[in-house]
Amino acid sequence: MLSRRNIRIKVLQALYMVGRDPELGTEEALDFYRQSLDRSQELYLYNLLSLIKTSEFSVEDTERKQSKYLPSEEDKQFSAKLYKNKCIQALVKEPDLQLTFKKKGIENLIQEDTIRKYYKSFAKLPEYKHYVLNNTNGEDDREILLNLYKHLLKEELFEETMDDHFATWEDDKSLIVGAMKKTIKALPESPELYRTFRPDYEAAVEFGENLLAMVIEKDTGYEEIIAPSLENWEVDRVANIDMILLKMALSEFIEFPTIPTKVTLNEYVELSKMYSTDKSKDFINGILDKLLKDLGEKGAIKKTGRGLED
């Protein structure tokens, strides 16, 4: 589920780290990058386990309601339907997933009081009460879990918890949310879908690690190629993030024959909007346009496949 954009972001972060400490080199950058990939998987697993554990509190809630001295009719009808939900049970009964939670130490991050607060706030919603007290089907099971996850994302406590445990939450948030929704929609038929969150070899190594190593190895050479396109700008006056983005894009232009130049240009313009200054978008776009033209005239860009240079 990790896209090339996610990989580019992690490469950018590793290069930024190396740029701030001259004693760090390729191996340290690769270690940081690999750890970042691992943290993204842990983020996803934490979100998944939070969903499971929050639903599990419906068991405690049911016992509390039905053990009242004078339970209401609603209390009597109440059940742990949220936890018995076939989608949740598919995850609970997936042995490899439960083993992964333990192996990665995700269970140690879950705090019972926090999960109880998530459940109590969700239990106040009318759609939850309707789900528990009425006949439902498989689609309703998925829908209530999507509602629960959306509710978690709106919880200030959830955001604070994510920020406390995972420094990369803001960078990875859209990725994790998309992966969670995809996982829920695949339940109960495909609980093993969680395995696809691991980055594949092509994305993580052939693209990500090679891009990272290439930019570090050819740093000076890339600066010399970029410098003539800067016109009135001196290299040392270009914002650090902007220079890293330019070097990464340049590397993709000339070192990665299967990535279309248009894709590269658009991706780095988007990254500049996310990580640099307000004016960086136009700056990056203009410099990359000029680089593309100059490199194309010199025959320095060799793309394989029809239309890849367009």
Phi, psi for residue 120 in degrees, rounded to 5? -60, -40
Residue predicted with more confidence, 202 or 310: 202
In whole numbers, what is the pLDDT of the chain averaged over residues?
92
Other beta carbons within 10 Å of 221: 11
Whether the CB-CB separation of 215 and 15 falls below 8 Å is answered with yes
Residue 236 confidence class, pLDDT cut points 50, 70, 90: low
Burial of 72 (0-12, 13-18, 19+ CB in 10 A): exposed
pLDDT exceeds cutoff 90 at 75 = no
Cα(216)–Cα(12) distance, rounded to whole angstroms?
Answer: 11
Residue 305 confidence class, pLDDT cut points 50, 70, 90: low
pLDDT exceeds cutoff 80 at 143 = yes
Residue 5 confidence class, pLDDT cut points 50, 70, 90: very high
Domain 218-297 architecture: Orthogonal Bundle (1.10)
pLDDT exceeds cutoff 80 at 310 = no
Residue percentage of the chain with pLDDT more than 70: 96
Question: For residue 235, what pLDDT is reported?
Answer: 67
137-164 mean pLDDT:
96
Question: For residue 78, what pLDDT is reported?
Answer: 83
**Encoding tokens for residue 173?**
């948030």
Taken in order 265, 27, 257, 301, is the CA torsion positive or negative?
positive
Per-domain residue ranges for the chain?
4-197, 218-297
182-187 mean pLDDT:
96
Sequence-distant (≥ 6) Cβ neighbours of residue 101 within 8 angstroms:
45, 49, 107
Selection from 178, 190, 50, 24 nearest residue 106 by Cα: 50
Question: For residue 179, what pLDDT is reported?
Answer: 94
219-228 mean pLDDT:
95
Residue 41 confidence class, pLDDT cut points 50, 70, 90: very high
226-234 mean pLDDT:
82
Question: For residue 198, what pLDDT is reported?
Answer: 76
pLDDT exceeds cutoff 70 at 97 = yes
Question: For residue 72, what pLDDT is reported?
Answer: 81
Tens of pLDDT, residue by residue over 12-36, are 999 999 999 988 999 999 999 999 9
Question: For residue 203, what pLDDT is reported?
Answer: 85
Tens of pLDDT, residue by residue over 262-286, are 999 999 999 999 999 888 999 999 9
Residue 309 confidence class, pLDDT cut points 50, 70, 90: low
Question: For residue 22, what pLDDT is reported?
Answer: 85
Tokens 């000076």 locate to 220
Selection from 269, 301, 266 nearest residue 282 by Cα: 269
Whether the CB-CB separation of 11 and 199 falls below 8 Å is answered with no
pLDDT exceeds cutoff 80 at 96 = yes
pTM: 0.87
Burial of 127 (0-12, 13-18, 19+ CB in 10 A): middle
Residue 73 confidence class, pLDDT cut points 50, 70, 90: confident
**Encoding tokens for residue 55?**
């639903």
Selection from 41, 55, 122, 125 nearest residue 87 by Cα: 55
CA distances, 50 to each of 120, 276, 298 (Å): 14, 33, 54
223-242 mean pLDDT:
84
